[in-house]
């Protein structure tokens, strides 16, 4: 997967732009506030429907615009050359198209535009809430298990209904919704466990290539005791569930625990080491996706030099190049992009006051 043409209008301070990225590495540099990160943000918005910088789409919208419009021509290993269009209005309405046909959900766009983001916010994978790490696992499962999205929707429905029954104290309905909840919960858990079994060795290999001195362990907590069937856990917790009005245990409480020894990695590692671990997690996920689907991930790396010294920047860049994927990398300083890495398959773009120019 690579973007052959990108058109964007209505995003932050960016002037309407049209660029032809390289299928390999794309360097984007410019001063703080010039708009370089907004280019990556636009690609991420097309892929996931969300910004990696804010939770509110209004903050992404240019203050003089009433809509965000994006057009991508992409070269996909599965479908060949195709087009993706996105229209997002100020009121939140969205229209997505693939080759002119309307997509019914953001998940469809995510399937056809697999993107991994490495930016200052990705530290949340280590220091943030368990939800951040659940979403990380589920990205990997979603992109290799085609039925996972529907199974996830079924699970969320079962959880919502069981919680409603608990809140209303409708004891006559509780066994029915509990049985459905357990069935769908076990399907989600099996997918996650199978995925992480394949992911762990890939992560360990990638991390050793970035920094072999960092020793990090990944442990999966499924959301209830690993030695106890979920039916027994829910039976034991039923009275408490009725008191608080929601389900305490299940896949919605799952956690990927990232540790150094017995302590959370975020408490032990330096900021540079944390960025290295987060980068390894993201790159390993993209690499595993590539192995299992024969499709390539697009990597968005914002502020390359932040927290990384020259040695680790070089290791990260060479590793990205070895994956033969399309990469977009931003930095304030042009020299920070090229001091350790000058791939032959690349383009350089300069952004100034919202205007992007290919050099």
* 9: β partners: 69
305 has pLDDT over 80: no
**pLDDT computed for residue 206 by the predictor:** 96
DSSP 23: S
Q: Which CATH number fits domain 1-114+295-359: 1.20.1250.20, 3.40.50.300, 1.10.287.3510, 3.30.1180.20?
A: 3.40.50.300
pLDDT digits (tens, 9 = 90+) for 2-42: 999 999 999 999 999 999 999 999 999 999 889 999 999 99
- DSSP codes joined into one string, 198-251: HHHHHHHHHHHHH-TT---EEEEE-SS-TTS-HHHHHHHHHHHHHHHTS--SSG
pLDDT digits (tens, 9 = 90+) for 195-225: 999 999 999 999 999 999 999 999 999 999 9
Spacing of C-alpha 220 from chain mean position: 18
Q: Which CATH number fits domain 122-293: 1.20.1420.30, 1.10.287.70, 1.20.1050.90, 3.40.50.2300?
A: 1.20.1050.90
Instruction: Provide the annotated binding site for ATP.
Output: 30-37
pLDDT digits (tens, 9 = 90+) for 119-155: 888 888 999 999 999 999 999 999 989 899 999 999 9
- DSSP codes joined into one string, 74-90: EEETTTEEEEEEEEEET
**pLDDT computed for residue 21 by the predictor:** 96
* Distant-in-sequence, close-in-space partners of 203: CB < 8 Å, separation ≥ 6: 218, 280, 281, 284
**pLDDT computed for residue 288 by the predictor:** 96
Looking at every residue in the chain, the average pLDDT score rounds to 93
**pLDDT computed for residue 74 by the predictor:** 96
**pLDDT computed for residue 19 by the predictor:** 96
> What's the rounded Cα separation, in Å, for the pair 218 and 200?
7
340 has pLDDT over 80: no
Number of Cβ within a 10 Å radius of residue 82: 15
Q: What is the pTM of this model?
A: 0.93
pLDDT digits (tens, 9 = 90+) for 259-286: 999 999 999 999 999 999 999 999 999 9
- 21 and 358 in contact (C-beta within 8 Å)? no
Number of Cβ within a 10 Å radius of residue 308: 22
101 has pLDDT over 80: yes
The structure tokens 């509990």 sit at 178
**pLDDT computed for residue 78 by the predictor:** 86
Instruction: Provide the annotated binding site.
Output: 30-37
pLDDT above 70: percentage of residues in the chain? 100
Average pLDDT (306-320) is 87
304 has pLDDT over 90: no
Buried b (16+ CB within 10 A) or exposed e, 189-209: bebbeebbeebeebbbebbee
Instruction: For residue 148, give both structure tokens.
Output: 């996972």
DSSP 16: P
Domains of the chain by residue range: 1-114+295-359, 122-293
Output the CA angle 345-79-195, nearest 5 degrees.
85
**pLDDT computed for residue 122 by the predictor:** 85
């Amino acid at each position: 997967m690579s973007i052959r043409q990108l058109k964007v209008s209505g995003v932050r301070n960016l002037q309407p732009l049209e660029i032809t990225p390289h299928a390999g590495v794309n360097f984007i540099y410019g001063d703080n506030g010039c708009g370089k990160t907004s280019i990556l943000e636009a690609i991420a918005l097309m892929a996931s429907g969300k910004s990696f910088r804010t939770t509110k789409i209004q903050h992404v919208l240019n203050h003089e615009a009433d809509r965000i419009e994006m057009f991508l021509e992409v070269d996909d290993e599965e479908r060949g050359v195709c087009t993706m269009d996105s229209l997002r209005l100020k009121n939140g309405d969205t229209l997505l198209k693939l080759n002119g046909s309307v997509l019914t959900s953001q998940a469809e766009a995510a399937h056809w535009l697999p993107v991994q983001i490495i930016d200052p916010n990705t530290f949340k994978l280590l220091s943030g809430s368990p939800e951040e790490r659940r979403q990380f696992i589920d990205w990997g499962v979603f992109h290799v298990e085609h039925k996972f999205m529907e199974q996830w929707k079924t699970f969320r429905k079962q959880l919502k209904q069981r919680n409603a029954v608990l809140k209303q104290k409708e004891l006559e309905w509780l066994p029915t919704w509990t049985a459905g909840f357990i069935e769908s919960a076990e399907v989600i858990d099996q997918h996650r466990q199978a995925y992480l079994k394949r992911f762990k060795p890939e992560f360990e290999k990638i991390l050793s290539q970035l920094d072999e001195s960092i020793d990090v362990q990944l442990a999966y907590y499924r959301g209830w005791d690993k030695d106890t069937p979920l039916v027994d856990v829910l039976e034991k917790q039923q009275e408490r569930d009725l008191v608080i009005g929601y389900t305490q245990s299940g896949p919605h409480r799952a956690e990927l625990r990232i540790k150094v020894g017995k302590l959370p990695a975020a408490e032990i590692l330096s900021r540079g080491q944390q960025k290295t671990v987060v980068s390894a997690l993201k790159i390993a996920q993209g690499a595993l996706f590539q192995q299992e689907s024969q499709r390539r991930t697009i990597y968005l790396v914002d502020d390359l030099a932040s927290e990384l010294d020259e040695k680790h920047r070089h290791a990260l860049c060479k590793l990205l190049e070895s994956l033969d994927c399309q990469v977009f990398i931003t930095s304030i300083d042009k020299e920070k992009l090229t001091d350790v890495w000058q791939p032959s398959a690349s383009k350089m773009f300069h952004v100034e006051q919202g205007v992007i120019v290919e050099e």
